[in-house]
Structure 1
């Protein structure tokens, strides 16, 4: 037992890095280049297997790309001002709307974004959609997926190198990747960290939304609508990867004064 503990302690000691934006130390076993390469492959596979709504002739798809472009432009400017433009190395932003009844959105490393049409009746307006996209982009920039995947790889595959895992256990590795980046369900010891990641993404996503010229105050009614849409369906907070809507709304209210400092309206809807 002591050997196992020491093994995992050694891994954590070597692989823990401090995120330059969040300021938090996190377990990151894989390089961004490795993760981005895998993300690009999985993203293209996902798009090929699902119905992508083209921007030509679709106001909704145009809106998704417009919001995504404004947020990624604001982030690029912010990172440059902070002297952290190197953190965006390899990012080739893509924004796609996918026809699905599921109310969901996600962003893979490298800026690979998907919004499902089922989310739009809940967001209802462009600023609320910006809150969601900002949140998902914050997950990618904070390396939450890399962190969650690193935790899962240690638990399930013993912390082997990604290339080794892909060659020896490709199906298991792909499942871990999909779960870590919001395309699957993660349970077990990873769960508590996931809720923490959600609240962290709320914080920085709110800031990114405001930097892009969208009113961050739209986050409050958005999550009230989310709560109404999931009424009677959401699991209790202790059994969910997401914080309860009431917890999330309270935290967002606390963050709002700081978020509004970044907000400069530019004629959004």
Structure 2
């Protein structure tokens, strides 16, 4: 990725958190019982996860389809993938679903969860220290100052980090889907579909955790020549039926 990362947690700690979170979600949310849907999602996920480095996760990935209309998916450390049925209305074929799953697995490969948790931990410590300092010196309106600092941290640190993570995961996912034999150009179509599903009204990019669809499409298109080379060199051609 070409940048330094702050990582305060071990892989074992993150895998344990991922397992605990996933078990909780399975207990609280409805899991799809539709055979065709589960086979389709598992087919795409299996093709993608075969190309995840063993240093990231070397076991069998667990894939669960949640029966929920939200257009979303996620991957967690420790080999966990969740896909919501609402996503399948937007991801119209195996390639577009592969773009999403590749993206989510890309977060795990890049250890973005570790980085976010580590950053939040340090920000929390820093904010508490600042608050103690303000109180110790009896600074007037210290609550307002702390609120302003909090907003500045969110806009200046946390949100740009989130957008960086999303862009990195897009490109990792693009390469993963290409290596797996899914036509990478369909990632562009996916984000075009996402833009339509999101409607016209959205936050300015500066105040969003995700890049605008147009931004991520531009980044993906710039990286397509690299991904297409990987795709053409791949002997894999999955046939996952929706």
TM-score computed with the length of structure 1 as normaliser: 0.74
Query: Once the two structures are superposed, what CA deviation does each residue of 1:154-205 show, in whole Å capped at 9, x if it has no partner?
Result: 112469xxxxxxxxxxxxxxxxxxxxxxxxxx94531111100100000010
Name the residue aligned to 2:24.
Answer: 45
Name the residue aligned to 2:38.
Answer: 61
Name the residue aligned to 1:254.
Answer: 222
Name the residue aligned to 1:268.
Answer: 239
Q: Report if the CA contact (8 A) 1:216-1:256 is conserved.
A: yes
Name the residue aligned to 2:133.
Answer: none
Alignment counterpart, residue 88 of structure 1, candidates 49, 57, 60: 57
Name the residue aligned to 2:196.
Answer: 228
Name the residue aligned to 1:102.
Answer: 70
Specify every segment of 5 or more residues in structure 2 that has no aligned partner in the other structure, as ranges: 128-152
The aligned length equals: 211
RMSD in angstroms over aligned alpha carbons? 1.9
Name the residue aligned to 1:131.
Answer: 99
Partners of 2:15 and 2:99 in 1: CA distance: 24
Alignment counterpart, residue 145 of structure 1, candidates 74, 94, 113: 113
How has the CA–CA distance of structure 1 residues 106 and 187 changed in structure 2, closer, same or farther, with 3 Å as cutoff? farther
Q: Aligned to 2:78, what secondary structure does the other structure show?
A: coil
Partners of 2:198 and 2:10 in 1: CA distance: 36
Q: Report if the CA contact (8 A) 1:92-1:110 is conserved.
A: no
Q: Report which structure shows greater RCO (CA 8 Å, sep ≥6).
A: 2
Q: Report if the CA contact (8 A) 1:61-1:97 is conserved.
A: yes
Specify every segment of 5 or more residues in structure 1 that has no aligned partner in the other structure, as ranges: 1-21, 80-84, 160-185
Q: Aligned to 2:230, what secondary structure does the other structure show?
A: coil
Q: Report if the CA contact (8 A) 1:213-1:268 is conserved.
A: no
Partners of 1:126 and 1:201 in 2: CA distance: 19
TM-score computed with the length of structure 2 as normaliser: 0.82
**Deviates further, 92-101 or 132-141:** 92-101
Spell out the pairing of 1:103-122 with structure 2 (5 A cutoff): 103-122=71-90
Q: Aligned to 1:106, what secondary structure does the other structure show?
A: strand
